[in-house]
Chain A
């Protein structure tokens, strides 16, 4: 047999575990594995080369998302011309090397090693939860172990007790082979360093933190250790309860904007576990506690699966069939149209829903309702991103893929907390930081990145809330006046007139760090050092979150960051860019899909005759050329009695939007509020129609993540409601006189592709073939576009914008002397509708207010006390937590629990360009409370 002809690199299955990570080298070398030649990048291990040709060498401590460790001694090989039997995982291939993976000598050695392992392992395979899914079991079979000569009576670890403290997995030390895969996964993949090997020699054992129970340790429950464990030592409790899964479906997580790919593993119609997909472009096999474990809400008893209607919000809900609910809703909306006109109704799309579901809602509003009164929950998070990046770069999206951060030399994190809010990307960023990239954090809080194991921010600009633009202007001032600009880039790529105007503005003394220090609270020399670090690093990357956008100058700040990136030439290649970390799974997609009241799909203005004609032609209806109302305008008009009906898809505006007293008043004023959601949320208290929604486990469509990556969402179980969400929307549209006769989700995407130049090449077939693509995906970029603005900006020349700092109207005063800023934590997600219905509550049972010790002491507040928080908008109560993560004068809380009423106290100040609410700055006063809840 001619072995040479058998190896085909195209046939390598990279979804299997190849034992050690891919080597990054352009130099290829050729080795012979059991006589078969294989060419691999220099640095590739013998184990990986062997796996690529199908010669799977037995292993226990090796797995291909961890660096080789060489401890289990099972993967021994023989190499011609070399003495001994080296471990194949730690031995790199060398040109011309000839390796033997199967010899009688190796068989004997491996069997001996396995025999030792098994002599200290419970022989309970038949009742073990990992039976059939255990690498130790597999390897015992692979080496042909039939007998353990040493018996089981000697000293062993078999009586060790289980740690059941974590709600999602057990730690059964008696089954541990101390291969260190869990410890290395926690360090190398997650970057938390919560696990270690305690003790020495025979007493060595895996230990969370200082030999604490998992729940009390620094473990963040990302699941990387469980994934890495080759035995049942770390095992999902769901597998223990339900058994080993019997079928698999690839899909996409529905939590944050990272958009991790997962394999849903099921028994029948029941999810057993969610396993992060190694082939997933966004996450490459990693996960966080939410995506990995907190999916139980989909089957929670609170889910409403039957349509509900009622004449008045004072009435009890009445469960009805879909037809009756749709007719009821259509009749009410049509009655409002007849009586008050088409502009008296509108809709809101959800960033938690698929592109296809969002698309049909905005189409229904424009075509069936007859108005452009369509907005999206992205209004209250990243609308300034859309505005600011479109003005400067020409497109409303981030510039990079996530992998780009691996090439960054200086990383500037502004108003974002990646380890909590985008944890899988946070882990990727931390890997790069451990390799030596500089870190600049611009945040009022000492977020985890400022100081955590093996991470120390070189620069922390701890600014006062509301002064982002002043800080960015000062950074750009340093860049401009110290000769740190990339003149060639600016000359070749940017609009010179706008650059000149910006340069004149930014060079003004009033923009210097020294002039702005009193306003920002940032020491001038500290700021200058950060500016120099970013500008001179080589590859400078900016990552930002809602701490940038949710301000009265959110859009200005986005443009200020774009200015800085252009001035320093940090656009258009790997390792650089301006990158929004999107809050929800499909913020990017919901914006792409025409959810804004002034734009059709693909960010094209409704007043553009050619574009409108294209949509009119395909949709078969005349479309309005004037923009519709945004969410706050709809609510204002409702309070004034002009806006009467709204369709709210998967958003709880009565909890998540600012100044909830005003939101409640607006909702109460309407004649028809339709809520489509999984649960009877706060908004549904004001609703007349409740249409049950589907969880991501039931959806068939696509999500688009923060890096513009379009991922398939596949139904892993049958719908609990009988109708998909887009089917329900289409039914309502048809009942209102405008049919949308799609047979399946793929047809909706086909229509999106037909109407949208940046999506022209996208189809379910392509996504199934490639796994995912990043838009633009069209004839010019048939497999997508990981990095944008490479040779030219989308708008042609990059446009500098002058960005004067305008302080917010929200100031601290004698009555309200503290500034409240809000955020979220790792275990919870947004208003908590999903995560509060999972065991994640064990980490966060209630929202608390973080307050600096000096501020607490001045008010007689002790840690754990109930306090009253009052702002100009309202007041609420929660417990206080003394924290040194925030400076004096600033307080911080989350909004995960409706009972906390955090958004009762946030004001209706908003971004000047987009009306994105100013959640991040609210002047408040705190005082001890004798009562517990408002």
Chain B
């Protein structure tokens, strides 16, 4: 059974991967993901996502990892 913290993290993981998968124009996907996150995500959400990327890298898509490099 998941803990409350997991619930929030699972949503962030899903959101990030979903953005990577659905971002409309397919050129420079990491750049678009980072631009999207910079525009809409809170500092705390980005911090949590970075921690997730560091602790469980396989759970995020390559494009999300690339996007995080430029954030």
Which A positions have Cβ atoms within 8 angstroms of B?
Answer: 343, 391, 498, 501, 505, 552-553, 556, 559, 597-598, 605, 607, 626-630, 632-633, 636-637, 639-641, 662, 801-804, 806, 908, 912-913, 915
The 3 closest A-B pairs by CB, nearest first: A912-B22, A636-B8, A912-B18
Q: Which of B19, B26, B39 contacts A605 (CB 8 A)?
A: B39
Please measure, in the bound complex, the distance between the C-alpha atom of A639 and the C-alpha atom of B11, giving whole angstroms.
Answer: 12
Is the CB–CB distance between B4 and A908 below 8 Å? Answer: no
Contact present for A806 and B22 (CB under 8 Å) = yes
**How far is it, in angstroms, between the C-alpha of A498 and the C-alpha of B25 when the chains are bound?**
9
Contact present for B5 and A640 (CB under 8 Å): yes
Q: Are A806 and B21 in contact (CB-based, < 8 A)?
A: yes
Ordered by A's residue number, 24 sampled pairs between the chains whose C-beta atoms are within 8 Å are A343-B42, A498-B25, A501-B27, A552-B22, A598-B40, A607-B38, A607-B39, A626-B43, A627-B40, A628-B42, A629-B42, A632-B11, A633-B45, A639-B4, A640-B5, A640-B7, A641-B4, A801-B25, A802-B25, A908-B11, A912-B23, A913-B19, A913-B22, A915-B15
> How far is it, in angstroms, between the C-alpha of A133 and the C-alpha of B28 when the chains are bound?
69
Which one of B15, B19, B27 has the greatest number of beta carbons of chain A within 10 Å?
Answer: B15
Whether B39 contacts A912 by the Cβ 8 Å rule is no
- Distance (Å) between the CB of B3 and the closest chain A CB? 8
Q: How far is the CB of B71 from chain A (nearest CB, A)?
A: 12
CB contact under 8 A between A639 and B43, given known A802-B24, A802-B25, A912-B22: no
Cβ-closest chain B residue relative to A606: B39
Bound-state CA distance A662–B27 (Å) is: 36
Chain B residues contacting A804 (CB-CB under 8 Å) are 22, 24, 26
Nearest CB on A from B41, distance (A): 7
Q: Which of B15, B26, B41, B42 has the largest number of chain A CB atoms within 10 A?
A: B42
Interface of chain A, helix or strand or loop or mixed?
loop
Interchain CA distance A802-B45 in the complex, whole Å: 27
A605 to B35, CA, bound (A): 13
Pick from A639, A912, A915 the residue with the most CB of B within 10 Å. A912
Provided the pairs A639-B4, A913-B36, A915-B15 are in contact, do residues A559 and B42 lie with their beta carbons within 8 angstroms?
Answer: no
A627 lies within 8 A of B18 (CB)? no
Contacts of A559 in B (CB 8 A): 24
B44 at the A/B interface (Cβ < 8 Å)?
A: yes
Residues on A with beta carbons closer than 8 Å to the beta carbon of B21: 806, 912
For B36, what are the chain A residues with a Cβ–Cβ distance below 8 Å?
913
**Distance in angstroms between the alpha carbons of A211 and B48 in the assembled complex:** 67
Please name the residue on chain A nearest to B11 by beta carbon.
Answer: A636
B24 contact set on A, CB distance < 8 A? 391, 556, 559, 801-804
- Residues of the B chain whose Cβ atoms lie less than 8 Å from the Cβ of A626: 42-43
Query: Judging by beta carbons under 8 Å apart, are B42 and A640 in contact?
Result: no
In the complex, chain B residues whose CB is within 8 Å of the CB of A629: 42, 45
Q: When A343-B42, A915-B15 are in contact, do A637 and B26 touch as well, CB less than 8 Å?
A: no
Measured CA separation A608–B25 after assembly (Å): 24
Residues of chain B within 8 A of A556, CB atoms compared: 22, 24
Residues from chain A with Cβ under 8 Å of B38 in the complex: 607
Can you name the residue of chain A whose Cβ is closest to the Cβ of B26?
A802
Give B32 Cβ to nearest chain A Cβ, in Å.
11
Output the least CB separation between B45 and chain A (Å): 7
Specify which chain B residues have a CB less than 8 angstroms from the CB of A636 in the assembled complex: 7-8, 11
